[in-house]
């Protein structure tokens, strides 16, 4: 008997517990993909498994639904693998250790993978059943969503005939997601020329920021440590002479950076105490400007750097390079660029300088650009490219995915709103999100796709505190079955 065996709906929790027993972190999806293939074979269902480990399973409509329009049930097979210090689980080989307390499901010392294991469990339970009324089903299980939606991007959608899709990859019951931003990762490469320079070495650091998700949290007014560093260095350059040794900040392009460090060489005639006093005044300015969201911002200086000088001095950026690096930081766009005209309060276009990296011969500026309007996304990229070219740099691009634009005429959305009101006596929240979801990729590949994303309550996803509410899973299951029943 499994730890979830007494929970309802029993078929869903049976498959969820099985999924949790199979290692399925992003980039390690072969076993879970093969499990889905074995399931299809066992139940006599047609299937397709591609080289990326994406899986599609087909099931005919039940009696009375044989000729109804087919529906896609979609989720992703991979999970984010995080564990607490001291936890001995090997995510490459081991399953999760599930815990159940007061109808709350979690995993001991690790992430749970409810995002998006519960979608796969729902789909398998429906595919297995012989008493659930439903139209023809195309169950689509993608891989590596959590590291760039690579499975959905690579999937050949030609075999898919449906233009109705239930994406079960949202984490708050009662919320229907109907639009998301498209995105692209952009890197500006500025070349570095170095000279041997003698002077006083110091390290300037921006720290104490909250950070956050570059899509969901971009509208909260939080400071970007890379941008703050650019502003700091530009104002310093108007008062003092210095050269940059290195500048680095941020860990992920899709996260608002919390810390940035710049190693600088000041002219020997400069009083470092005056520099420090100036930075302290500037710190007060920043603390005032960000007193709501980032009041703990800290701008510090210490007289040391990691670079080891020789008798000829420090191997620093030359004057022209130093100027160009600061100019880019001070002038590249960042943050919210426009708000939606269709959905009140929704950020339409933004970008985030998530990672700033000094390499031997270049400084790299990594941006996550997001927009629910494709032309605005292109314009932001053009603006970065324009300034980069003026500064004699080059550009590179990865992870370009389309927006899922808001559909004013969505029969599926209208049906799901109606069913929710009837079952639960209240209206669901229809929303858009300023972040990328797989629906955007499917909408781009399947013209005319009518899609809604939803799901049960999942809390603290992608952390070791992740948990799922069993009662919400049951309500969402019953909601899903009623939607399928009405799609005749």
Q: Which residues are part of the catalytic machinery? A: 78, 145
Please name the residue ranges forming H helices in 103-196.
114-128, 150-154
Compute the distance between CA of residue 17 and CA of residue 211 in angstroms, rounded to an integer.
34
Query: In Å, how far are 26, 41, 42, 57 from 47, measured between CA atoms?
Result: 22, 8, 11, 4
Question: Which residues face 314 on adjacent strands?
Answer: 197
Compute the distance between CA of residue 138 and CA of residue 446 in angstroms, rounded to an integer.
13
The answer to whether residues 452 and 413 touch, using CB atoms and an 8 Å cutoff, is yes
- DSSP run (H or E) holding 49: strand 46-49
Compute the distance between CA of residue 111 and CA of residue 235 in angstroms, rounded to an integer.
44
The answer to whether residues 368 and 351 touch, using CB atoms and an 8 Å cutoff, is yes
Q: What is the DSSP letter of 218?
A: G
Compute the distance between CA of residue 315 and CA of residue 311 in angstroms, rounded to an integer.
11
Query: In Å, how far are 70, 253, 332, 339, 445 from 376, measured between CA atoms?
Result: 34, 19, 16, 11, 20
Which among 372, 373, 449 is positioned nearest to 409, based on CA atoms?
449
The position carrying tokens 């109804």 is 68
């Amino acid at each position: 008997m499994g730890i979830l065996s007494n929970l309802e709906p029993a078929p869903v929790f049976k498959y969820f517990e099985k999924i949790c027993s199979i290692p399925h972190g992003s980039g390690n999806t072969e076993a879970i993909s093969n499990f889905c293939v074995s399931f299809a074979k066992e139940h006599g269902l047609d299937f397709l498994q591609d080289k990326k480990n994406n899986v599609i399973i087909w099931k005919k409509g039940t009696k009375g639904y044989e000729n109804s329009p087919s529906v896609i049930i979609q989720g992703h097979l991979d999970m984010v693998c995080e564990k607490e210090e001291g936890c001995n689980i090997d995510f490459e080989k081991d399953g999760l250790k599930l815990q159940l307390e007061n109808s709350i499901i979690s995993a001991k010392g690790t992430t749970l993978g409810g995002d998006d294991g519960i979608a796969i469990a729902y789909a398998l339970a429906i595919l297995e059943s012989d008493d659930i009324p439903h139209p023809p089903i195309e169950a689509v299980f993608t891989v590596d969503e959590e590291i760039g939606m690579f499975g959905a991007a690579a999937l050949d959608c030609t075999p898919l005939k449906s233009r109705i899709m239930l994406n079960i990859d949202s984490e708050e019951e009662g919320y229907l997601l109907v639009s998301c931003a498209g995105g692209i990762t952009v890197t500006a490469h500025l070349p570095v020329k170095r000279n041997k320079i003698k002077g006083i070495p110091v390290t300037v650091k921006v720290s104490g920021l909250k950070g956050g998700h570059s899509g969901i949290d971009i509208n909260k007014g939080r400071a970007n440590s890379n941008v703050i560093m650019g502003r700091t260095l530009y104002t310093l350059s108007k008062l003092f002479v210095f050269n940059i040794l290195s500048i680095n900040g941020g860990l992920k392009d899709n996260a608002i950076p919390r810390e940035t460090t710049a190693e600088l060489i000041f002219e020997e005639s400069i009083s470092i105490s005056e520099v420090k006093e100036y930075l302290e005044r500037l710190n007060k300015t920043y603390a005032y400007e960000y007193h709501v969201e980032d009041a703990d911002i800290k701008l510090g200086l210490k007289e040391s750097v990691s670079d080891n000088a020789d008798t000829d001095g420090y191997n620093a950026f030359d004057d022209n390079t130093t100027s160009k690096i600061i100019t880019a930081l001070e002038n590249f766009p960042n943050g919210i660029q426009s708000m939606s005209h269709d959905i009140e309060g929704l950020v339409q276009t933004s970008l985030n300088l998530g990672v700033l990296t000094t390499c031997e011969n270049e400084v790299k500026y990594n941006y996550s650009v997001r927009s629910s309007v494709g032309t605005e996304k292109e314009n932001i990229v053009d603006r970065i490219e324009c300034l980069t070219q003026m500064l004699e740099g080059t550009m590179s691009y990865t992870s370009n995915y389309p927006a899922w634009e808001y559909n004013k005429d969505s029969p599926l959305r209208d049906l799901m709103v109606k069913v929710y009101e009837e079952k639960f006596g209240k209206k669901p929240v229809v929303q858009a999100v300023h972040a990328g979801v797989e629906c955007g990729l499917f909408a781009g590949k399947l013209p005319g796709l009518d899609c809604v994303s939803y799901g049960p309550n999942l809390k603290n996803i992608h952390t070791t505190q992740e948990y799922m509410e069993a009662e919400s899973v049951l309500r969402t299951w019953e909601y899903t079955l009623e939607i399928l029943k009405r799609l005749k």
